[in-house]
Amino acid sequence: MTTSFNGLGVNLSNIYRLSAARTRSISPENFTGEKGRGGMATEGTGAIHARGLGPDGSGQGWKVSPSIRIEPGEKRVLADIRGMGAIQQIWLTTANLRWRSLIIRMWWDDQEHPSVEAPLGDFFCSGWGQFAQVTSLAVCVNPGRAFNCYWEMPFRKAARIEIENTDPSDFGIIYYQINYALTDVPEDAAYFHAKFRRTNPLPFGTDYTIIDGIKGRGQYVGTYMAWGVNNAGWWGEGEIKFFMDGDKAFPTICGTGTEDYFCGAYNFDGGVVDATMDSRYREFTTPYAGLPQVLRPDGTYRSQTRFGMYRWHLTDPIRFESDLRITIQALGWRTEKADRRRYLPLQDDIASVAFWYQTLPSVPFEPMPHPDQLEVI
């Protein structure tokens, strides 16, 4: 039987369709993803626990290599795939102390510089180093610190994923599974990109830049932000702005408030507009947007309120033809009479990951911040 379906873009409406795609999976139990090569390890992080098992007592086939150890300063290739296809799901877990010090990078089709570069936690919507349930279509974070990514990542010649341990003194243990399909990729398929930024503190009266310098044709598909406030009061009056295809002083797309962009309203606080509700931030996680994390002061050493938010443009991608730059304002209120109040530009601790697809070649990223500048305290 012949079929024209390539096995990509799978969803409930086409899951029944057969294709010529070949499913493969890379993990510490099969580092190459080759057919019939899984579970063959005789050495690994689980070898001591598997001793005595199996026909020859070597433990082979009994969870000998479920994870990898990355030493301080080491870079480790998780996946090196040759051929045409797409990564369809990534599962990964590691200790939360490593979520900012482990940097994930991805390369497509042997491009010299990476198309993805971000701390592991921020890439998986967990920038503050503490667990919060995320239940979305693109990213899920589940109990036990389980990171899951469902962005489809096509490639035509090659795909490489690498983790760097930037901690100068401690190792990291990573469990992971990278599921992909070897199949034909359509001509109009663009390449997945993601880039991290952090500014702490944001200089007074300036906009925070989520991403700039994107050159090429593509579409912007999502934002994650880890936002730490350094003032009392509401902090989310700022507008997000999308400057595209030659925009200069003024953008083509301009939002109306931070919580509005993340698909909330009225400060994420139901009590603002509903007298029957108590006034507080309300966490939520949905397929397309969420405020899954609010870290509240504890009265002693945790002195600042911190927020984790995501917004996926899965049904409304921001399309651009030649270039894209995205900024957002950190904006609160001054303590003045309500009818004459002015906005207060804030100096917050803001980090973000921008997600988009575009043509290659892409522009090299600016260097990642020094590990000391990444640390969450």
User: What CATH number was assigned to the domain covering residues 190-364?
Assistant: 2.60.120.1390
The per-residue pLDDT for range 268-319, each reduced to its tens digit, is 998 888 889 999 999 999 999 999 999 999 999 999 999 999 999 999 999 9
Residues 6+ apart with CB under 8 A from 36: none
Q: Does a cis peptide bond (omega within 30 degrees of 0) precede residue 361?
A: yes
Pair of tokens at residue 212? 């700039």
- Give the residue-averaged pLDDT of 236-252: 98
- Give the residue-averaged pLDDT of 66-95: 97
Question: Is 346 within 8 Å of 230 (Cβ atoms)?
Answer: yes
Query: What are the residue boundaries of the structural domains of the chain, listed by start?
Result: 21-54+64-187, 190-364
Of 244 and 4, which is predicted with more confidence?
A: 244
Distance in angstroms (rounded) separating the CA atoms of residues 37 and 247: 52
Sign of CA dihedral 13, 15, 21, 23: positive
- The reported pLDDT for the residue numbered 317 is 98
Question: Is 39 within 8 Å of 18 (Cβ atoms)?
Answer: no
Question: Is 330 within 8 Å of 350 (Cβ atoms)?
Answer: yes
Percent of the chain with pLDDT over 90: 92
Residues 6+ apart with CB under 8 A from 25: 33, 38, 177, 178, 179, 180
Distance in angstroms (rounded) separating the CA atoms of residues 1 and 19: 10
Q: Residue 1 — pLDDT band, cuts 50, 70, 90?
A: low
Position 185 pLDDT exceeds 90: yes
21-54+64-187 matches 190-364 in fold: yes
- 66 — phi, psi (to 5°)? -85, -10
Pair of tokens at residue 20? 């010529």
The per-residue pLDDT for range 147-167, each reduced to its tens digit, is 999 999 999 999 999 999 999
User: What CATH number was assigned to the domain covering residues 21-54+64-187?
Assistant: 2.60.120.1390
Q: Supply the DSSP string of 42-61, one letter for each residue.
A: SSSTTHHHHTT-STTSS-TT
